[in-house]
Structure 1
Amino acid sequence: MLEENKDEILKLENQLCFPLYACSKEVVRIYKPFLDKLDLTYTQYLTMMVMWEHKEINSKLLGNYLYLDSGTLTPLLKKLEVKGYITRTRAQEDERNLVVRLTLEGEKLKDDAIKVPEELGRSLQMDKDDVKNLYTLLYKVLGKISELNYKAK
């Protein structure tokens, strides 16, 4: 049975991962002109959204929110620190923990960034119900992936 279906199984159009990958890539491309005005990459923008919400956070928890490992997060945080948007300091109680804090300059950036979601929404021109359904499904997928990762540890 598997032999008969292998051509169908391996078609790009039959892969769940492909539309997820392509949509992600294209949405980031649509964000780019809006984020260029802020001098942020997409990943820096996501990081700043977490910082605007939490103001101060342990770097490990920040990585968990963003689904980023420390090898990806560290250079990202260094660049945001150079831009003056965050500071990074070792926790006094345990120097192994890195604490990331939003600066006043980082807080000010929020005033310009507030326009980005609305601008993206206008670009996508999707029905609100479709957006809500897509959001729900994507977080359901993320939850399942998180479960798999947890079981693998």
Structure 2
Amino acid sequence: MLLEDQLCFAIYAASRAVTAAYRPLLDELGLTYPQYLVMLLLWKHGSLTVKEVATALHLDYGTVTPLLKRLQGAGLIARRRRTDDERGVEAVLTDEGRDLQARALGVPVGMAEAFGLEADERDALRDRLHALVESMDAYAGAGRSS
């Protein structure tokens, strides 16, 4: 089978292209794409545990912890031990992190244009991709290998 006929390659190439399109928009905010995803979560929730961030982003602790450390170093979040469970670490927005949200409002607008899809087409594609992730997670969880 040819490379261009592979669904996995189309998904991989699309992911790289989308991430590259985000880069100039996020450079203005001083964020990488993974850091932007963390900030989106925190702008919605205010604070989350490391485990909650990892679960929401489909990442492991080893990937999330350095992301949070860099965001903390940039002054956008604080990491603190939870009062109800000292084993748990929570990421909390700082004032600077909250202020960044207003500057980030143009990112989704710019990306909507880059996608070149109508809103209903974007929604349908997003929903189909979420279903694909669920399907892949279920497949991997069943102990199968590709």
Which residue does 1:119 correspond to in 2?
Answer: 110
- Stretches of structure 1 lacking an aligned partner (at least 5 in a row): 1-7
User: Which of the residues 61, 82, 85 maps onto 2:52?
Assistant: 61
User: Which of the residues 76, 80, 86 maps onto 2:71?
Assistant: 80
State, as a whole percentage, how many aligned pairs show the same letter.
Answer: 38
Is 1:148 matched with 2:139? yes
Is 1:30 matched with 2:21? yes
Q: Deviations over 1:39-74 (max 9, x none)?
A: 000000010000001101111011100111111111
C-alpha distance in 1 between matches for 2:126 and 2:114: 17
C-alpha distance in 1 between matches for 2:36 and 2:113: 19
Larger Rg: 1
The offset of 1:147, in angstroms, is 2.0
C-alpha distance in 2 between matches for 1:148 and 1:104: 41
With the length of structure 2 as denominator, give the TM-score of the two structures.
0.92
Is 1:131 matched with 2:118? no
With the length of structure 1 as denominator, give the TM-score of the two structures.
0.88
CA RMSD of aligned residues (A): 1.3
- Stretches of structure 2 lacking an aligned partner (at least 5 in a row): none
Runs of 4+ in 1 over 3 A off after TM superposition: 149-152
The offset of 1:121, in angstroms, is 1.1
C-alpha distance in 2 between matches for 1:85 and 1:31: 19
Q: Deviations over 1:25-45 (max 9, x none)?
A: 001101111000000000000
**Number of residue pairs matched?**
143
Q: Deviations over 1:55-106 (max 9, x none)?
A: 0111101110011111111111000001111111112332221111111110
C-alpha distance in 2 between matches for 1:126 and 1:42: 21
C-alpha distance in 2 between matches for 1:101 and 1:133: 32
C-alpha distance in 1 between matches for 2:84 and 2:114: 47
Which segment is superposed worse, 91-100 or 76-85?
A: 91-100
